[in-house]
Structure 1
């Protein structure tokens, strides 16, 4: 088949379309379509007055407390804490050994103890095994052990120093908690952290570590407690 290509313009054979003989008649929509159209709502409603009102609302200022960074002295305080803990464990082991000989009924109980703000040792009867009379007996015995009392107070002081040197958000994050002479007794039971347990015994395991006791009993640090800590230690907020 031969194809002929020409640059000349070729006019169409018919430039007019013949009218159709079909008549278009408008029809009303069905009842279902009409009901759907009536129920249909606009896709979006624009309220320019609300937008203008939003622009006029005052801005809210939210003050967020971040807290201090970890002190460069933290490793030194942590080392001091570890030393105080070792000394306290040794003193407590000696006390328990003596207690088993002098008061075996008390030694057989699951007693706890802590340090009050004035430095005295306080008996904790979490298991409810002692009673008032035995609590008094054990209180006298605990405070009568100069070695144990001195070691417990030193441990409390080392704990406070370590948390004060920590940060609420960086490093060890020990500064997340506020520990003071006044709230130590409410937060810490020393005995569970000093006893030796069978590895398979997981009873009250959360009481065997300082950080887990603080997690569920300790006071969380705030801007106010941090400011009070700086004032107590004589530190500058600008440091």
Structure 2
């Protein structure tokens, strides 16, 4: 019988280990966003905010001076305060130096000062107007936040604005600036909140 040899070894397989992979198509993410532009009235609004800041500073200094005479034990302690949506003032134990009794006394004293309450209310209104007039990108970079009477107390410590600032940057010195407090604790604006801005508000379409 005639025998035929058959090669049962597999054929050589080519592995393109050195072949460069085919380039994948580049993708680009495009998102349409509505951004606020800075109001043309911003310089005047900023001046109003500066004036309100100075008035609040003088009122708080007068309050602290009176406190040194009536309640020296409280005057020696660091504390902040803010203003609630209903216009009442609220002490903030930012330095953890106050007891519950201290806070009750300070809340009573703060709200007994009609001048300080009025100055705090004016400063809050000026601050809300300042943020609303600024740009989302550019300007002073405050327009990307929402500031109103409802969230102001959770955002701005008024007392921290007037603490003596040291030469070394730290959390306490940074809190001495309104913008720093807004950037660190403020409510960020979203696409939805910008689109819900009232008709006529300063805004522009931006593609990023």
CA distance in 1, matches of 2:97, 2:202: 50
Cα shift readout 1:85-109 (whole Å, capped 9, x = no counterpart)? 0000000000000001101111111
Paired position in structure 2 for 1:41: 16
Say which SS state the counterpart of residue 32 (structure 2) adopts.
coil
CA distance in 2, matches of 1:206, 1:195: 10
- Give the Å deviation of 1:237: 5.0
Select which of 191, 194, 199 maps to 1:223. Answer: 191
CA-based RMSD of the aligned residues comes to 2.8
Say which SS state the counterpart of residue 67 (structure 1) adopts.
strand
Aligned pair 1:91/2:59, yes or no? Answer: yes
Which has more helix, going by share of residues? Answer: 1
Aligned pair 1:133/2:101, yes or no? Answer: yes
Paired position in structure 1 for 2:176: 208
Select which of 91, 97, 118 maps to 1:150. Answer: 118
Between the two proteins, the alignment pairs up a number of residues equal to 188
- Does the 8 A contact of 2:36 with 2:202 survive in 1? no
Paired position in structure 2 for 1:107: 75
Distance 1:227 1:124, change over 3 A: farther
**The 10-residue stretch of structure 1 (177-186 or 37-46) with the greater mean CA deviation from structure 2:** 37-46
CA distance in 1, matches of 2:21, 2:119: 73
Say which SS state the counterpart of residue 85 (structure 2) adopts.
coil
Summarize the alignment of residues 1-239 of structure 1 with structure 2, pairs less than 5 Å apart. 40-42=15-17, 43-44=19-20, 63-197=31-165, 199-200=166-167, 202=169, 204-228=172-196, 230-231=197-198, 235-237=199-201
Distance 1:195 1:176, change over 3 A: same
TM, length-normalised to structure 2 = 0.80
Say which SS state the counterpart of residue 98 (structure 1) adopts.
helix
Distance 1:102 1:71, change over 3 A: same
Distance 1:134 1:175, change over 3 A: same
Cα shift readout 1:127-173 (whole Å, capped 9, x = no counterpart)? 22112111111001001101111000100000000110111012222
- Give the Å deviation of 1:61: 8.4
Distance 1:202 1:98, change over 3 A: farther
Say which SS state the counterpart of residue 126 (structure 2) adopts.
helix
Which of structures 1 and 2 has the larger relative contact order (alpha carbons within 8 angstroms, sep 6+)? Answer: 2
TM, length-normalised to structure 1 = 0.70
Unmatched 5+ residue regions in structure 2? 1-11, 204-208
